[in-house]
């Protein structure tokens, strides 16, 4: 128990060490428009948010190991707000306004959590979020030129000789050393499976390199360091006179920034929570985590901190270090508090060029690789229009964010989200439709049953649905089923595997469809995942299946049984001449073959063949049905192929003598003629012509199976 607790504590400390350089850097980013005189407040703000974000947990139903702190996108939003407010107010007032924004973002998150709207941020389409990430990366990258080169872009463009100044050369060299150190340590972690705090070590190496350069060149460093940092510099909220009137005047922009920050912070937190749930193999409440983040942002604002969000990278790192419970979060928060109280003076000696290098690394890691994958997927014609739309939306949001503003980008992104959502919801619910002639179950049947399906298969209809089933789209399904009933369709299968959501009105229309089909004497079957509304609906009891093939096999059997041809051809037991591969044999040839066969009977559920065993027999069914089973990706034992009287299984033993690929079970009482490989070899010696004719029948069987599978593939590609 003690060892486990120590592991939790050490993992929290190590994860917080990873977050300290980023927190300091993002604090400087957020307060950058206010000038270097606010650098101390910026560093303190970053550390306060790292401390509060991990210490405060009002609801233990949230994620276990999510490590929280400042978030890049929201830090840039705070920076954008600072730039906007600094045109009207002094720096001290602007800081108070920024803290109010953080406070209200926490209130918004808390209210959303109370109202159980914890997943609202998940409805932001990924192209919009991708655009925000890429825009943030560019906005984070550009301001790092001055800390590294020592001068602004404008001055460097007017006088390129500044690039060769000693100050510029030192800054460039230190930044390069920091970036290379970071890259090397990261590579070392990957290859040697170490868990070294990459950013922290890079910061230390970069700082050492800076002081070595300063020592040898005897250069003044006054404006190249962060400056004095002390916990006494904490800027508490509501410490200036006449603040209320200022807040009232700026209420609208404050609320705009607060809502935007609450939205992006929530999304980042949900991503981190997803990682925590995955690695810890648990399912936590997003609303509970939203309550935690809301309270943390509220308290962070009171103590002068930045806004807080969960960090995906540090959450994964926490698990790798050994975190498994809330203890690691609290340990990390306590460690950050210790750094804030006792170690903050050490931070004053960190060179700004080193932090700029870390921010450059951060900006490149922020670029969303998903957009590059979208460009690569343009070659695929199947989803080209959707891909072009995704790319366009992402680039549009990025451009608006860079050239107009972050609030405008979030607003446009929200509007695009609504448009995309409405467009998606209004798409036709019916993806495609098949009939029983061109789509068959994986049931191998004798020729006369296949003929019945060829002739009467049009009375079977498979309707594949896709998207959202609600009152606006379900009516399309109702109209189509009415048309099929008028056309005399006797069996309708609704494939709902690709349905994303079903509302109450959608279920009510499904009930109407079921009732109309029953009144018309038509059987309707639903195919959907287990524990979904379509499978749980009482009206569809005994008519719901998890797999399309199962439902299709049932309606095929019903169609065959309902025809007079089945009755005329059905006998208690088939003869050898009815076996598919023996259809070309004459009576005399069958009499020669029969002594080599053994008649065997298997009771229901008996395993006739087992996967992995060596194949040494071929089975010819004359009565009953056999089913082939395998284990699917979910670990479930699933029937994927059925064999009717007159069909054959195990025939590959006659060709390759390899292990069996699936289990074969008797479905009911099963009766087969069995030919072993040993008997086949004897037959080849004594009656080579009969053996050759038998192998020709097997070749024909394999050819028909291949042709049938190709036909199924062709139908799905349409």
Tell me: pLDDT of 292 over 80: yes
Of the pLDDT bands very low, low, confident and very high (cuts 50, 70, 90), residue 307 is very high
What backbone phi and psi angles, to 5 degrees, belong to 656?
-115, -10
Q: Report the C-alpha gap between 1 and 8 in whole angstroms.
A: 11
Angle in degrees, CA 405, 251, 104, rounded to 5 = 85
Average pLDDT of the segment spanning 489-508: 81
Pairing of strands 544-545, 523-527: parallel
Tokens standing for residue 704 = 């028909």
Question: Would you tell me how many other CB atoms lie within 10 Å of the CB of residue 606?
Answer: 13
- Whether residue 62 contacts residue 291, with contact meaning beta carbons closer than 8 Å, is answered with yes
Homologous superfamily of 576-717 in CATH? Jelly Rolls (2.60.120.10)
Q: Could you tell me which residue, 16 or 99, shows the higher pLDDT?
A: 99
What backbone phi and psi angles, to 5 degrees, belong to 84?
-70, -45
CA dihedral of 358, 364, 368, 374, whole degrees rounded to 10: -170
Tokens standing for residue 40 = 């101390």
Q: Report the C-alpha gap between 267 and 136 in whole angstroms.
A: 15
pLDDT averaged over every residue in the chain: 82
Average pLDDT of the segment spanning 597-616: 88
Domain 430-569, CATH among 3.30.1330.40, 3.30.750.24, 2.60.120.380, 3.30.1490.100? 3.30.750.24
pLDDT of residue 30: 92
Tell me: pLDDT of 180 over 90: yes
pLDDT of residue 406: 72
Q: Report the C-alpha gap between 612 and 593 in whole angstroms.
A: 29
Selection from 452, 461, 449, 456 nearest residue 486 by Cα = 461
pLDDT of residue 567: 46
pLDDT of residue 566: 47
Q: How far is CA 378 from CA 368, 388, 391, 583, in A?
A: 17, 7, 10, 51
Average pLDDT of the segment spanning 400-423: 79
pLDDT of residue 568: 47
- pLDDT 10s digits, 81-123: 999 998 888 888 899 999 999 999 999 999 988 887 766 656 6
Q: Could you tell me which residue, 8 or 420, shows the higher pLDDT?
A: 8
Q: Report the C-alpha gap between 311 and 272 in whole angstroms.
A: 6
Q: Which of 32-36, 154-158, 357-361, 515-519 has the lowest mean pLDDT?
A: 154-158
Q: Which of 92-106, 288-302, 701-715 has the lowest mean pLDDT?
A: 701-715
Q: Report the C-alpha gap between 399 and 132 in whole angstroms.
A: 10
Q: Report the C-alpha gap between 228 and 188 in whole angstroms.
A: 34
The full DSSP string for 94-109 is HHHHHHHHHHHHHHHH
Pairing of strands 617-631, 663-676: antiparallel
pLDDT of residue 240: 64
* Residue 183 neighbours by CB under 8 Å, 6+ apart: none
pLDDT of residue 659: 82
Highest mean pLDDT pick, 161-170, 173-182, 323-332, 696-705: 173-182
Tell me: pLDDT of 233 over 70: no
Could you identify the residue written with the tokens 């002081």?
211
Q: Report the C-alpha gap between 476 and 692 in whole angstroms.
A: 56
As a three-state string, the secondary structure of 533-582 is: HHHHCHHHCCCEECCHHHHHHHHHHHHHHCCHHHHHHCCCCCCHHHCHHH
DSSP, collapsed to helix, strand or coil, labels residue 621 as strand
Q: Could you tell me which residue, 184 or 540, shows the higher pLDDT?
A: 184
Tokens standing for residue 91 = 């720096």
Q: Which of 88-97, 167-176, 277-286, 355-364 has the lowest mean pLDDT?
A: 277-286
- Whether residue 549 contacts residue 527, with contact meaning beta carbons closer than 8 Å, is answered with no
Q: Report the C-alpha gap between 380 and 534 in whole angstroms.
A: 34
Q: Report the C-alpha gap between 311 and 190 in whole angstroms.
A: 20
Highest mean pLDDT pick, 486-490, 531-535, 685-689: 685-689
- pLDDT 10s digits, 44-61: 999 999 999 988 876 677
Tell me: pLDDT of 701 over 70: yes
Bridge partners, residue 467, by sequence? 499
Highest mean pLDDT pick, 33-37, 303-307, 626-630, 711-715: 303-307
Burial 175-196 (b: 16+ CB within 10 A, else e): bebbbebbeebbeebeeeeeee
Q: Report the C-alpha gap between 606 and 404 in whole angstroms.
A: 72
Average pLDDT of the segment spanning 419-427: 73
Q: Could you tell me which residue, 151 or 434, shows the higher pLDDT?
A: 434
Average pLDDT of the segment spanning 133-143: 85
Whole-number percent of the chain with pLDDT over 90: 17
Average pLDDT of the segment spanning 557-574: 64
Q: What is the phi-psi region of residue 666: left when phi exceeds 0, alpha when psi lies from -120 to 50, beta otherwise?
A: beta
Highest mean pLDDT pick, 129-133, 159-163, 618-622: 618-622
pLDDT of residue 671: 92
Does the pTM exceed 0.75? no
In the chain, domain spans = 2-156+224-368, 430-569, 576-717
């Amino acid at each position: 128990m003690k060892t486990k607790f120590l592991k939790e504590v050490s993992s929290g400390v190590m994860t917080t060490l990873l977050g300290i350089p980023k927190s300091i850097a993002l604090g400087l980013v957020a307060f950058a428009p206010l000038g270097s005189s606010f650098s101390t407040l910026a560093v303190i703000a970053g550390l306060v948010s790292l401390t509060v974000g991990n210490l405060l947990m009002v609801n233990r139903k949230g994620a276990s190991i999510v490590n929280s702190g400042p978030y890049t996108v929201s830090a840039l939003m705070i920076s954008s707000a600072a730039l906007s407010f600094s045109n009207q107010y002094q720096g001290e007032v602007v800081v108070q306004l920024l803290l109010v924004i953080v406070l209200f973002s926490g209130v918004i998150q808390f209210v959303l959590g109370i109202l159980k709207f914890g997943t609202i941020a998940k409805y932001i389409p990924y192209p919009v979020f991708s655009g925000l990430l890429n825009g943030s990366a560019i906005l984070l990258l550009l301001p790092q030129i001055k800390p590294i080169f020592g001068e602004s872009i404008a001055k460097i463009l007017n006088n390129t000789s500044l690039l060769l100044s000693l100050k510029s050369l030192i800054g460039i060299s230190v930044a390069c050393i920091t970036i290379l150190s970071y890259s090397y340590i990261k590579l070392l972690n990957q290859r040697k499976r170490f868990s070294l705090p990459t950013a922290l070590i890079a910061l230390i190496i970069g700082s050492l390199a800076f002081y070595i350069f300063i020592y040898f060149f005897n250069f003044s460093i006054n404006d190249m360091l962060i400056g004095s940092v002390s916990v006494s510099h904490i800027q508490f909220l509501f410490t200036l006179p006449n603040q209320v009137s200022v807040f009232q005047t700026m209420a609208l922009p404050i609320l705009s920034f607060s809502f935007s920050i609450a939205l992006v912070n929530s999304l980042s937190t949900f991503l981190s929570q997803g990682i925590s749930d995955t690695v810890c193999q648990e399912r936590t409440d997003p609303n509970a985590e939203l309550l935690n983040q809301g309270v943390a942002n509220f308290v962070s604002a009171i103590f002068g901190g930045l806004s807080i969000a969960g960090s995906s990278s540090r959450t994964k790192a926490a698990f790798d270090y050994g975190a498994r419970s809330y203890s690691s979060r609290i340990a990390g928060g306590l460690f950050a508090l210790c750094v804030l109280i006792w170690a903050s003076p050490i931070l004053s000696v960190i060179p700004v060029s080193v932090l700029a290098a870390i921010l450059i690394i951060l900006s490149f890691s922020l670029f969303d690789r998903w957009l590059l994958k979208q460009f690569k997927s343009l070659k695929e014609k199947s989803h080209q229009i959707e891909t072009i739309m995704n790319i366009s939306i992402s680039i549009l949001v990025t451009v608006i964010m860079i050239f107009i503003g972050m609030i405008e980008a979030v607003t446009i992104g929200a509007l695009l989200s609504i448009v995309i959502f409405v467009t998606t919801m209004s798409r036709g619910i019916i993806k495609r439709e098949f009939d029983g002639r061109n789509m068959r179950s994986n049931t191998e049947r004798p020729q006369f049953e296949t003929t019945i399906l060829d002739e009467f298969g049009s009375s079977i209809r498979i309707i594949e649905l896709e998207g959202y089933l609600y009152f606006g789209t379900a009516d399309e399904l109702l109209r189509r089923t009415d048309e099929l009933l008028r056309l005399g369709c006797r069996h309708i299968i609704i494939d709902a595997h690709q349905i994303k959501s079903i509302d109450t009105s959608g279920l009510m229309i499904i009930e109407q469809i079921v009732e109309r089909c029953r009144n018309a004497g038509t059987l309707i079957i639903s195919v959907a995942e287990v524990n979904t509304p379509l499978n749980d609906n009482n009206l569809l009891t005994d008519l719901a299946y998890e797999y399309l093939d199962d439902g299709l096999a049932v309606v095929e059997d019903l169609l065959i049984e309902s025809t007079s041809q089945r009755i005329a051809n059905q006998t208690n037991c088939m003869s050898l001449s009815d076996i598919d591969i023996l259809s070309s044999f004459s009576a005399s040839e069958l009499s020669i073959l029969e002594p080599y066969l053994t008649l065997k009977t298997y009771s229901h559920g008996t395993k006739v063949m087992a996967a992995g065993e060596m194949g040494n027999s071929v089975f010819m069914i004359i009565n009953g049905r056999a089913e082939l089973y395998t284990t699917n990706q979910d670990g479930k034992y699933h029937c994927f192929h059925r064999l009717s009287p007159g069909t054959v299984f195990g025939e590959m033993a006659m060709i390759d003598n390899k292990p069996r690929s699936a289990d074969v079970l008797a479905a009911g009482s099963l009766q087969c003629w069995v030919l072993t490989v040993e008997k086949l070899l004897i037959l080849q010696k004594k009656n080579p012509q009969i053996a050759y004719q038998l192998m020709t029948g097997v070749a024909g069987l394999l050819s028909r199976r291949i042709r049938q599978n190709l036909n199924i593939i062709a139908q799905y590609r349409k």
